[in-house]
A and B are shown apart, each in its own frame.
Chain A
């Protein structure tokens, strides 16, 4: 769970002052989200990310105040569902071709470091 941002979340219509409001995302949240995204950020990147993401989220937060009760969300514009194809066997990518771009192919497989540190 990401720490709440409640302190800076505002109610009511936006005014010009809101555009210069304080950071809406803090350092701890940036570090937490980076961990979730499997990114390791340098100290400088963390600092910059706090400022930049805050500025962007501040803009994005404008939609937070819209009354959209009862509006259906759109995840996709094409009204398609369950597009099926015939279940017919066909050749798949040959193993050597699939492995050709791997950083460390070994014994016909993708080799990766152990999930457990030594």
Chain B
């Protein structure tokens, strides 16, 4: 059984299609592995086919997928990590999940996450934090921390998550796996519980770049149910590229040594040398507005969230509290008891930024910064193929380390937010291990590669070549460690 779990999702798919691997046996092996979750990574597992009902797969020919609990699944609990949706069973299935099912990928379970995808550590889940399989005293990153932890911890062959400002890439980096945020519009958002609608994007969390390409190929596409979805023209092919000759990689001139840990820097610089070894060229690019990314993001995302989360009012679905008073009292009691601290903080921030007298100073100004950031990338891509940075300023930090300092937590998104604001694709691949600043066993470091809008194929091809060149093969001690 253990051998089956060593296969990449692509290898398993090819073996199932060729007939050498029984889909039932393979899926059952993963269900057994997932049942041993000691990381608090799953919120629901498909243990009984009866409960799965509408999301059952007849003809499995792909590896089973762990799905972030932000995707609506008909008849199956969907909480978005929030108490306000405890017990909620949606009446329909998200397009991304439907596409997986139609392609023949069973759903293994729903993964834990920061409440409504707001967080960088998974400590904002109403159902307790997910533990990092490399070190259970540390966070897996967030908000797709459950999806990253199950893949890294041997509890799922691959997973899907969502990324609004780094929520796929940063947990992928912290857990030593591959995470891709596609171009905004590549994958339908229908049935994906909204956080910040102009930024939210679904994407794969996988062991390898090839697995990410396979999953993206299934997920992408225009959807009549999401008017902002456009899909990727020509689809996605499996990457085969083995060198980087003729490709130019831009390192932002603004990247300063004190922006990130020295251990992260060492791994980052090592990866740059590997790019050169593979025939790629390293150049300097200028992204002067990116330093304002966090400020713009923490206006725009909370502003959109404050509007999106207005729907949780205790009337149509989800929990209700304080129903004995008048309507407003019921709204306020439900929301005050149903939302956690970070969600309240972001609703407050967003409501403030949109309130009369502040709209222009905050939201209007942030939208202009967003334009500048996108223009910076446009300028950079005129002279390079990709922009590269570390994915996160540090390796996985300790549980509780940043919970009392929201701003310190937000600054974790420093390297990932600019791409989200510009709507461009970016992938994080594991590039090596580094000691945490405070000392201790070495932990994974992610290397981020970003490309122009809809350049996913080229991005995956380059990431595949670099992945092979780096040859990262470290694994956490195991889910039972």
Residue positions of A touching B, CB distance < 8 A:
1-2, 4, 25, 29-30, 33-34, 36-41, 45, 49, 52-53, 55-57, 59-64, 66, 68, 71-78, 80, 83, 85, 93, 97-98, 100-104, 110, 112-118
- Residues of A near B315 (CB, < 8 A) are 102-103, 110, 112
B347 at interface, CB cutoff 8 A: yes
11 contacts between A and B (CB under 8 A): A1-B357, A36-B351, A37-B351, A63-B369, A64-B361, A71-B372, A72-B371, A98-B91, A102-B316, A112-B314, A113-B326
Q: Do residues A60 and B362 form an inter-chain contact, with CB atoms below 8 A? A: yes
Given A2-B355, A45-B344, A117-B326 contact (CB < 8 Å): yes
Please measure, in the bound complex, the distance between the C-alpha atom of A25 and the C-alpha atom of B88, giving whole angstroms.
36
Q: Do residues B320 and A104 form an inter-chain contact, with CB atoms below 8 A? A: yes
Closest to A77 in B: B423
B292 at interface, CB cutoff 8 A: yes
Residue positions of B touching A, CB distance < 8 A:
88-92, 184-185, 198, 224, 227-228, 230, 292, 294-296, 298-299, 306, 310, 313-320, 323-333, 335-336, 339, 341, 344-345, 347-349, 351-352, 355-358, 361-362, 364-372, 374, 406-407, 410, 421-423, 453
Q: Which of A38, A55, A116, A117 contacts B331 (CB 8 A)?
A: A38
Please measure, in the bound complex, the distance between the C-alpha atom of A49 and the C-alpha atom of B341, giving whole angstroms.
10
Q: Which of B328, B341, B352, B370 contacts A38 (CB 8 A)?
A: B328
Q: Do residues B332 and A77 form an inter-chain contact, with CB atoms below 8 A? A: no
Q: Do residues B298 and A56 form an inter-chain contact, with CB atoms below 8 A? A: yes
Q: Do residues B365 and A66 form an inter-chain contact, with CB atoms below 8 A? A: yes
Q: Which of B185, B345, B357, B368 contacts A52 (CB 8 A)?
A: B345
Q: Do residues A62 and B316 form an inter-chain contact, with CB atoms below 8 A? A: no
Q: Do residues B327 and A113 form an inter-chain contact, with CB atoms below 8 A? A: yes
- Residues of A near B316 (CB, < 8 A) are 98, 101-102, 110
Please measure, in the bound complex, the distance between the C-alpha atom of A23 and the C-alpha atom of B423, giving whole angstroms.
33
Given A53-B348, A101-B316, A113-B336 contact (CB < 8 Å): no
Q: Which of B294, B330, B351, B361 contacts A113 (CB 8 A)?
A: B330
Closest to A69 in B: B368
- Residues of B near A64 (CB, < 8 A) are 361-362, 365
Q: Which of B310, B362, B374 contacts A77 (CB 8 A)?
A: B374
Q: Do residues B367 and A75 form an inter-chain contact, with CB atoms below 8 A? A: yes
Q: Which of A37, A52, A61, A71 has the most CB of B within 10 A?
A: A37
Q: Do residues B352 and A63 form an inter-chain contact, with CB atoms below 8 A? A: no
- Residues of B near A25 (CB, < 8 A) are 352
- Residues of A near B306 (CB, < 8 A) are 37
Knowing that A78-B230, A103-B318, A112-B330 touch, tell me 19 more A-B residue pairs with CB under 8 angstroms.
A38-B332, A39-B332, A52-B345, A53-B348, A53-B349, A56-B345, A60-B299, A60-B362, A62-B292, A63-B369, A66-B369, A78-B185, A80-B185, A83-B228, A98-B91, A101-B316, A110-B316, A113-B323, A113-B325
Closest to B353 in A: A60
Given A60-B299, A73-B370, A76-B228, A101-B314 contact (CB < 8 Å): no
